[in-house]
């Protein structure tokens, strides 16, 4: 094995492209990134030469799993021919031993039969943002003119179902749905959704990571929400629907590394790229202080060597005193640095610490039983 390639392959876990920068056709008021208020204007997508340069350099060093995460704004605004170009370039530059994976996060409103067919053909994993049934979803996920987007999203979901695309649902938990866990889960089960994830709503912007965050819900509210949906997930010891947070907890129980960054010991080395080539270490940290370099002006390897990346990676392991002695440190690892009260730079405690302790305690016995069963079954194989 080429040592140089192996070294740099380990320096990058994956890439997240902010495909069209902040452009989006929806105006969800809690969005931490897009500021265009549902009026995207001229689409500023990644330039062809930059796209090719990056894909070539990334696939030259990446061994094994080579994930591409396409986010926005609304990434589908880049157009189908853009993504066709992406898969063509990936095919051209991926060598033996590299397994390219594409995942895209969309608001779902632009998905039609053609998009669904494309996702199916090229095995894209599609994340659709949906906050629950119509009356809940339409509270916050609005078009630029203030109309609810539920019907448009569900039309997109139907196309995905019909084409047999792998998709999951991402739900933001805020003041209007935090006490509706059962209702949301009932709706998801009725819709036969198989994979869902929840993220608590925060009022901050990626462009200003140093500004203290305002949170829409309290740790107690979020903790109660997690306990409520845990029972539905657990389903008397036979989980039927994947809820990302609980799947990750179970992974930690069976001594695997959770895939959610918040629960890992350090932040993963996931490169975030803007269409103008600017590179950052996380989509919550997209300002000059964390600018790692520019893919137009420099090589990927130089970006991976940036001392700023090391600075960023030192944030998460800088644990508060409470975390250092916490009985749940093996499950939580101190959470996300951006959620640590204050600037996120100090070794303070996660805002949602109480929520985590609440769910960790509540689920302990059942998770232990489940983990023992999983491990027992693994031994039989």
Q: Give the interface with ligand SF4 as residue ranges (CB under 6 A).
A: 261-262, 267, 282, 284, 316, 322-323, 326, 328-329, 332, 334-338, 349-350, 353, 356-357
Q: Which is nearer to ligand SF4, 163 or 172 (CB)?
A: 172
Q: How far apart are CA 332 and CA 133, in angstroms?
A: 30
Q: How far apart are CA 286 and CA 308, in angstroms?
A: 12
CB of 338 to ligand SF4, least distance (A): 5
Helix (H) or strand (E) segment spanning residue 53:
helix 48-61
CB of 304 to ligand SF4, least distance (A): 16
CB distance 226 to 359 below 8 Å:
yes
Q: Which two tokens stand for residue 91?
A: 């095919």
Which residues are marked as active site? Answer: 283
The crossing angle, in degrees rounded to 10, of helices 219-234 and 181-190 is 40
CB of 201 to ligand SF4, least distance (A): 15
Give the gyration radius of the chain's Cα atoms: 21
Q: Which of 61, 73, 68, 67 is nearest to 109 (CA)?
A: 73
Q: How far apart are CA 153 and CA 118, in angstroms?
A: 18
Sign of CA dihedral 353, 341, 131, 245: negative
Q: Which two tokens stand for residue 187?
A: 């709706």
Q: Which is nearer to ligand SF4, 132 or 337 (CB)?
A: 337
Q: Which is nearer to ligand SF4, 144 or 268 (CB)?
A: 268
Q: How far apart are CA 313 and CA 131, in angstroms?
A: 31
CB of 200 to ligand SF4, least distance (A): 12
CB of 311 to ligand SF4, least distance (A): 12
Q: Which is nearer to ligand SF4, 152 or 282 (CB)?
A: 282
148 backbone dihedrals φ, ψ, rounded to 5°? -65, 145
CB distance 101 to 68 below 8 Å:
yes
Find all residues with CB under 8 Å of 104, minimum gap 6, and list them.
Answer: 69, 70, 71, 75, 76, 119, 124, 125, 126, 127
Q: Which residues, listed in sequence order, are joined to residue 142 by a DSSP beta bridge?
A: 148
CB of 270 to ligand SF4, least distance (A): 6
Q: How far apart are CA 380 and CA 199, in angstroms?
A: 36
CB of 187 to ligand SF4, least distance (A): 27
Find all residues with CB under 8 Å of 327, minimum gap 6, and list them.
Answer: none
**CA 377 to centroid of chain Cα atoms:** 30
CB distance 352 to 334 below 8 Å:
no
């Amino acid at each position: 094995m080429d040592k140089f390639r192996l070294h740099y392959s380990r320096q990058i876990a994956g890439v997240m492209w902010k495909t069209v920068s902040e452009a989006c056709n929806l105006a969800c008021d809690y969005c931490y990134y897009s500021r265009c208020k549902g009026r995207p204007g001229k689409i500023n997508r990644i330039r062809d030469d930059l796209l090719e340069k990056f894909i070539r350099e990334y696939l030259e060093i990446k061994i094994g799993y080579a994930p591409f995460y396409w986010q926005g704004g609304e990434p589908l605004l880049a157009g189908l021919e853009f993504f066709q170009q992406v898969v063509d370039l990936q095919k051209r530059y991926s060598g033996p031993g590299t397994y390219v994976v594409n995942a895209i996060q969309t608001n779902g409103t632009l998905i039609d039969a053609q998009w669904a067919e494309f996702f199916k053909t090229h095995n894209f994993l599609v994340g659709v943002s949906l906050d629950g049934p119509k009356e809940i979803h339409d509270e916050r996920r609005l078009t630029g003119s203030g109309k609810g987007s539920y019907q448009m999203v569900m039309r997109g979901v139907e196309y995905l179902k019909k084409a047999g695309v792998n998709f999951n649902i991402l739900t933001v938990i805020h003041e209007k749905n935090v006490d509706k866990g059962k209702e949301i889960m009932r709706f998801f089960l009725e819709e036969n959704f198989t994979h869902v994830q929840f993220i608590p709503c925060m009022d901050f912007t990626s462009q200003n990571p140093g500004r203290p965050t305002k949170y829409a819900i309290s740790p107690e509210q979020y903790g109660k929400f997690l306990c409520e949906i845990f029972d539905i997930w657990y389903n008397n010891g036979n989980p039927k629907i994947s809820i990302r947070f609980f799947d990750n907890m179970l992974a930690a129980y069976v001594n695997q590394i959770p895939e959610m960054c918040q629960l890992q010991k350090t932040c993963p080395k996931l490169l975030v790229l803007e269409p103008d080539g600017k590179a950052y270490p996380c989509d919550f940290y997209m300002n000059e202080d964390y600018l790692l370099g520019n893919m137009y002006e420099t090589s990927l390897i130089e970006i991976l060597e940036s001392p700023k990346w090391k600075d960023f990676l030192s944030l998460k392991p800088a644990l508060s005193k409470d975390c250092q002695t916490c009985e749940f440190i093996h499950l939580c690892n101190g959470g996300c640095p951006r959620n640590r009260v204050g600037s996120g730079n100090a070794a303070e405690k996660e805002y949602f610490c109480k929520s985590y302790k609440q769910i960790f305690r509540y689920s302990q016995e059942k998770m232990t039983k489940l983990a023992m069963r999983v491990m027992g079954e693994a031994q039989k194989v």
